[in-house]
Structure 1
Amino acid sequence: MLTTLAIRNIVLIESLDLSFGPGLGVLTGETGAGKSILLDALGLVLGARAETALVRSGEDQASATATFEFQKLPSAISDALADAEVEVEPGEPLIIRRRVKADGGSKAFVNDQPVSVALLRQLAGALVELHGQHDDRGLVNPRGHRALLDRFAGADVARVNAAWSEWQNARVALEDARSGIEQAKADQDLLLAHLAELTSIEPEEGEEETLANARSDMQKGEKLQGDLEELRLMWDGSESPLARLRSAARRLDRIATEHALLADALASLDRAVIEAGEAEEKLEAAAAALTHDPLELDRIETRLFELRALARKHGCQVDELPAVMTSLRSKLDAIEQGDADLADLVRAEQAAGAAYRKAAEALHEARVKAGAKLDKAVAGELAPLKLDAARFQTAVIQLSENRWGPSGMDGVEFLISTNPGAEFAPLNKIASGGELSRFILALKVALAEQGGAATVIFDEIDRGVGGAVASAIGERLARLASGGQLLAVTHSPQVAARGGTHYMIAKSSKGTVTKTSVARLDAEGRQEEIARMLSGAEVTPEARAQADRLLEGV
């Protein structure tokens, strides 16, 4: 709830510090005393537009600071603060400050942390609920009526929300599968052609490197053909170097035992024969490997060209062509399997849709029953508020399927008829501001146990009424405030007498300077202020006596 409001240099208020408590607080004062300034200051804290006209004449800036305290922060507030990365310790009050400069611009803070004005507006709905003569928010706005009725009904909207999410997920999965199959079928002929082309070649991993090496060897053999032939002739025949080495080795073998050096020479010669033999074998192998076969070379080059052309066509490396073949086969298999999978997805989507409809229809029935109960509760409040000719109706309308959503298949709007035989119309279409405020009060009383903002403010709800109606308004405001905090700006003594705390707003002038002040009244001050409200400018003994009776009667 709102515990303090500090105002600096806003219009006629130079400096003002107010404290508030639970229950019903009333604010009174003569017309023009400055009650609207308090609401303007609170509006700044709640994210209203920062008008430079709010800055007191002659000052550079103005500010308003409000403190709200909770046993536990409402989830709507804690979630918004978390999203904005604003840290508030458990049990710590929420201090919101707004500063406006005379030359334009404003800054906002939550617990001394800079925040956006958008965040203030986001927090406002959970902090303060304001009802005035021309209110177009809160209970008047049809956009919030469905949530109010659901809270009144204790409806299981979460179940419908979960069913909606499951249905939408199933629909997305089905549509994605359909799109994928349609695209695959459109590409089926192309897939078959590509696979046939690859299958006819049957590429193998590592084949490109093998072919390229073989081609390189053949091309080298073509260049080395003359040298290889000369070497072959040198190693062939009885007069070749190797033949002569072997002949020398045989002769030396016969005389090697005659001297140690001859034996050593023989050993060296034997090694030379072995090395020369190995060289001959390697020359023969090299000659075979480097043999230039024009037909084989042409076959290898053709194969390389085909493989590389296919790789470019599929945007991959040659070694990746076997994987491309596997992928094409998988896509074709998926097309064949797709219809079976699609049937399963269709059944899943239908089941999820049926579950959503069942949950939404149950919610619809709960809303209809709760609407009738709410209509009866509001009707019981209308006559004491001098609205006995009026009627209230909760319209629960089933929407077309394209407008269904996580909150169900219903639209909800509160309608009224102010005269016998008149058509029902939306709350915000009512002509009389006084009637609108009383309708809001009746509806608020009927919905009192369903929660709402931490602080509720009624601005001159009693305008244009008096006597028994004013008493009825005061009694209902006090009843609403019994479980929380309610502030009422009022001109009615009957309403003022119901207040647990009473603030008097006064305007004074000294020379060319005009100021607005607010005082919290004690028992004697309350009697005097209520007597003034009863008698006018001159407070008479009769007015004081009547004020006493009003205060004693509450």
Structure 2
Amino acid sequence: MLRGLDIRDMLIIDRLELAFQPGLNVLTGETGAGKSILLDSLGFVLGWRGRAELVRQGADQGEVTAWFDLAADHPARAILQDAGLEVEDELILRRINTRDGRKTAWVNDRRVSGDVLRALSETLVELHGQHDDRGLLNPRGHRQMLDAFAGADAELATTQAAWRALAAARKALAAAEAKIAETRAEEGYLRHAVAELDALAPEAGEEAALDAQRRLMQAAEKIRTDIARAHEALGLQGAEGLINDASRWLQGAADKAEGQLDPALSAIEAMMLALDDAQRGIETCLDALSFDPFALEQTEERLFAIRALARKHDVLPDDLRGFADDVRGRLAVLDGSTGDLQALAAQVQAAQTAYDAAAANLRAKRQGAAQRLDLAMAAELAPLKMERAVFTTEITTADPGPEGGDAVAFTVATNPGAPTGPINKIASGGELSRFLLALKVCLTQEAEGLTMIFDEIDRGVGGATADAVGRRLAELAQGGQVLVVTHSPQVAALGGHHWRVEKHQQADATLSTVVPLDAGARIDEIARMLSGDKVTEAAREAAKALIKA
């Protein structure tokens, strides 16, 4: 509920502070007195789009502060919490506009963006007038309004979830089809590559082993010659024979040497064992260096084949096996594509069926709500002297989407049998006001904590019709808060709280102010609205009669 509004240096207002009350709050005044400036200022602090130049001439900046009471379950609390702002029972909005056009906003003394401000405003205030394209006159919002009236949150959530599931299933199918099409386009190349790789069957590390073997074989002849010479030097014709001779000679002399040759003989025996180990190692190496004359050619052929395949497929030689496995996997997808595509298509069909069922359930909910809304509108239009008018909620087929496949439009016919059409194109000014008021009443019956503002909603009507409009506004304000800017004395007379907007011409400026009216001043204001500039006693009596009625 809007409790107060403080305006400083905005347009023709230098300083103005208003304290609003629950119930029906009425603002009146002569044309051009500045009533629209109040709404412009309120819209500014709420983040609405409006006039570009708002700062009063001669001032450096304009500032508007609005404060609201928040009930415990007010939806603004969730927005504050999501934005990381402190949640209190009182909400204070403040916004500044500098002369150069820069705008800055605060919520409970915390700097916020315009998006946060606008999100809060949608839960705090709703403005309606004949030229308001943000609300009931905008067909793009009719479906959302009908869903709110229907209480279709559960059905809408189910439909949105089904739509997301359908979109995901379609995406998976499309991705599989694209991948299969891509693989099929290069199927011949892939199958040839797999055959080539399988025929060669390279192993990880094989290229390095073949390269080492090749280099060894290339140098083997020279190496084997030197090693064979060493083997001969250590054999019977060389070191082994000489050591054997030395051992035999020393053993023959050992018996007469009184044990002095025993250490030498032990050393020679160890030497013979070491020499035997060396000879066996050399023989093993000579055996390894013995190869088929064609072995080098075969080794080189395999080595070069592995390297060629690696270059062809732009992978490392050690990665050829993994590359082959990947290609086989792609071909396996292609070979099993029929079954996979059928399974994915079945998932799409199942998701489509689930979505169609959810959308149909939501449509049924909307159709039932449309009938209730049409009946409720008929009941509301009768007291507003429009019992012959017909309001119809039209539901037509639209492209499927997350909110179902329905298009919703509010249409009217001013008389039975007359063609129906959009509210703002069929109804006259006075009729439009009453249609909007009736629709507002029907759609906001469950609204909690919402301040409703009607900007000259009674324009074009008078007499008994204006009285009917005023009484409906008064009923709408019971238990809530309604602000109405009006030129109708019948509406003004039904207000619970009354302010008059006045404009004063000073020497160097024109200023607007708002004056709260007591009982006597209120009679004079309504009398002025009845009779014009000259307030007669008869007008005062008529004003008293309206207030008492």
Q: Is 1:513 aligned with 2:512? A: no
Give the structure 2 partner of residue 78 of structure 1. 78
Matches for 1:393-408 after TM superposition, within 5 Å: 393-399=392-398, 403-408=399-404
Cα distance between partner residues in 2 of 1:486 and 1:514: 29
Cα deviation, 1:332-384, whole Å, max 9, x if unaligned, reads 33323322222222222212212221222232233223223222222233344
Give the structure 1 partner of residue 307 of structure 2. 308
**Cα distance change, pair 23–223 in 1 and its aligned pair in 2 (3 A):** farther
Cα distance between partner residues in 1 of 2:429 and 2:252: 140
Cα distance between partner residues in 2 of 1:162 and 1:181: 29
Superposition deviation, residue 249 in structure 1:
1.6
The residue type paired with residue 323 of structure 1 is G
Task: Give unpaired runs (5+ residues) of structure 1.
Answer: none
Cα distance between partner residues in 2 of 1:495 and 1:235: 130
Superposition deviation, residue 301 in structure 1:
1.5
**Cα distance change, pair 377–251 in 1 and its aligned pair in 2 (3 A):** same
Superposition deviation, residue 262 in structure 1:
0.8
Matches for 1:2-41 after TM superposition, within 5 Å: 2-41=2-41
Which deviates further from its counterpart, 293-302 or 520-529?
520-529
Kept in 1: contact 2:429–2:460 (CA 8 A): no
Matches for 1:66-215 after TM superposition, within 5 Å: 66-72=66-72, 78-79=78-79, 82=82, 86-155=83-152, 156-215=155-214
Kept in 2: contact 1:125–1:453 (CA 8 A): no
Cα distance between partner residues in 1 of 2:69 and 2:84: 15
**Cα distance change, pair 79–285 in 1 and its aligned pair in 2 (3 A):** farther
Which deviates further from its counterpart, 115-124 or 256-265?
115-124
Superposition deviation, residue 2 in structure 1:
2.1
Matches for 1:64-463 after TM superposition, within 5 Å: 64-72=64-72, 78-79=78-79, 82=82, 86-155=83-152, 156-236=155-235, 238-257=236-255, 258-291=257-290, 294-399=293-398, 403-418=399-414, 421-430=417-426, 432-451=428-447, 454-463=450-459
Alignment: residue pair count:
546
Cα deviation, 1:228-268, whole Å, max 9, x if unaligned, reads 343234234x4301211122123223333533431111112
Cα deviation, 1:112-156, whole Å, max 9, x if unaligned, reads 333333443444333322112321120110111111112222332
Kept in 2: contact 1:133–1:434 (CA 8 A): no
The residue type paired with residue 504 of structure 1 is R
Q: Is 1:61 aligned with 2:61? A: yes
Kept in 2: contact 1:378–1:446 (CA 8 A): yes
Q: Is 1:475 aligned with 2:471? A: yes
**Cα distance change, pair 99–464 in 1 and its aligned pair in 2 (3 A):** same
Cα distance between partner residues in 2 of 1:508 and 1:494: 26
Superposition deviation, residue 67 in structure 1:
2.2
Cα distance between partner residues in 1 of 2:514 and 2:530: 20
**Cα distance change, pair 550–250 in 1 and its aligned pair in 2 (3 A):** farther
**Cα distance change, pair 545–59 in 1 and its aligned pair in 2 (3 A):** same
Cα distance between partner residues in 2 of 1:297 and 1:461: 102
Task: Report the secondary structure of 1:315's partner residue.
Answer: coil
Task: Report the secondary structure of 1:203's partner residue.
Answer: coil
Cα distance between partner residues in 2 of 1:412 and 1:76: 28
Which deviates further from its counterpart, 146-155 or 190-199?
146-155
TM-score computed with the length of structure 2 as normaliser = 0.92
**Cα distance change, pair 278–496 in 1 and its aligned pair in 2 (3 A):** same
Cα deviation, 1:197-216, whole Å, max 9, x if unaligned, reads 11111122332232222223
Superposition deviation, residue 412 in structure 1:
0.3
**Cα distance change, pair 411–75 in 1 and its aligned pair in 2 (3 A):** same
Cα distance between partner residues in 2 of 1:298 and 1:77: 84
Cα deviation, 1:2-37, whole Å, max 9, x if unaligned, reads 222111101111111222233221111222211111
Q: Is 1:531 aligned with 2:527? A: yes
Which deviates further from its counterpart, 489-498 or 522-531?
522-531
Cα distance between partner residues in 1 of 2:461 and 2:219: 114
Cα distance between partner residues in 1 of 2:260 and 2:15: 126
Cα distance between partner residues in 1 of 2:72 and 2:188: 65
Cα deviation, 1:24-62, whole Å, max 9, x if unaligned, reads 211112222111110111121232447563211111111
Task: Report the secondary structure of 1:409's partner residue.
Answer: strand
Cα distance between partner residues in 1 of 2:151 and 2:196: 67
The residue type paired with residue 540 of structure 2 is R
Q: CA RMSD in A?
A: 2.5
Cα distance between partner residues in 2 of 1:95 and 1:250: 118
Matches for 1:487-498 after TM superposition, within 5 Å: 487-498=483-494
Cα deviation, 1:82-131, whole Å, max 9, x if unaligned, reads 3xxx3222335333322112233322333333333344344433332211
**Cα distance change, pair 218–80 in 1 and its aligned pair in 2 (3 A):** farther
Which deviates further from its counterpart, 463-472 or 420-429?
420-429
Kept in 2: contact 1:448–1:480 (CA 8 A): no
The residue type paired with residue 60 of structure 2 is D
Superposition deviation, residue 477 in structure 1:
0.9
The residue type paired with residue 35 of structure 1 is K
Which deviates further from its counterpart, 375-384 or 404-413?
375-384
